[in-house]
Chains A and B, each alone.
Chain A
């Protein structure tokens, strides 16, 4: 990669810097500015006044995971659309049909998981 083309990434790098810097600065600032009165009661995690029991590591419902993994699968489907969209004109009708086939296959999958009730929360 040539030196010159790296300059185009300067705004992105700047954005990263600002994002990281903002986090750092706010954390530092709240630490320095706020008053500090540490008592045992204050350090407890606040749960609407109810005392916390046990720890946070309890097995949780697999439904969240089901939704998350289905999201990833469709996310990957969408990723394939970027290179297609950029070349949309060149690929023409043929490319359109190819993409349609791909989406149709996943659409079957979508209706299938709807039918199986994977997206309904209560059961």
Chain B
């Protein structure tokens, strides 16, 4: 540590773009802006100038080829796709011809011609209203910089030295910047600008290193070589951490290692809690491409497969076979464990563009979820046919979103039954009868959960919408953000009522909202009797590890006390008193958020770590 106490400790806040924790010396990277000279070229020098340009194009291309080889990204990795698209631009013969023409006809130097033509194209894209096309302008600018660098300097330029284990700090990091350094030496990225779709985000996520972006002016508070701690989960950067920060960092990273070790053989089975209660921890996925990471995470099946990806991504309304293929891909990864497919959950804001549906003033209270499917039966039946076809391969479950009345469940079940019959009459081989479950995310479904439980095969609590509809709080509205809180006893009571009614009817109840991935949310859900937890693949291990260190009976006592509380503050107080007695939990307020930290005894062997 070169920087002793010279620097003041500061905690900077940005956006956590890639999760994880890292500590190391900051390495400041200043992106080079080249001065592009503008001068005429004598007619006898034109051929040499054109040659210079062509050489720069091919050198840039080679550089990208080498970079891709070095990073060893998979072909479907978005980071690789960006680099591949840059490579294609460098091979664009039409573009090369246009630039050669400019050099020739206007007797212009190569760097100037490149700058002018690339910039005109980037400006055109920037003028468009469609964000996706506007974003391409950044790629064009980046390729331009790479080519100009090669035109201006004969050699590649000095490599930017990054010692192994550094934290790269920059205004922004583009693919052409990464050519000047060894990105594999970077243990975390911190940037002034950037969004969740920027190159740095994609790069950090695919390499599995933390990133905090969007620090704005605060970036200037980080000096070269100062030690920093980057927390990609919280979106914070601690500059010149004190001894306490470092101790906490060490504990956290030790904990991550511990969890990985603890669960090393624990693949895809339910977890057993301290008092022997068994809980299924499953994964939420947004498309077939996530099923691999879900499997590697140790998830016991898929608790929520959002089928909207078909409609967000490249394809219009996909046909039956295309859909069946995607479902089969996921089931193939989990042949024995449940794969829960949630049927189309499109909101009015999306269907307006897709279907020419009428504009809705209030899409959250409009024709969304199951309401849309029952209105557009052709689309719904196509999806049901695809799911039922795929069911022959494994253990598929259908989950109906936004159910707000018993009729909707009955009508949907009837459609499932008819579709099964139709497929059977066509001679299609079907699996076991597919269970049909209900998402509990609307207050009317909570009130009617006793009746719904009699006719549904399982429940899944969608906490995100349930909180929003129960508390009448739009979770996207920053002005009322603090009101959106799962610790509100009204939310807890809604969940408890759902669980009680499900168990009374003898069906399983899961939870797949974000509450399941928050430590306190998780503990309370288990305390209220939820049987299955489903979280994003990156959280599966943490959830499993935490559950092996707590007992279901203790959590039930805690949950019962919270259910009797009058308001959020009282719930927090109860949690602090109750869990605070266990050494493994501590509490703090972070940016006005009530945060629970977990410090397991890393030397202890948990008793209920495995359930064979």
- Do chains A and B stick together as partners? no
Which A residues fall within an 8 A CB radius of B? Answer: none
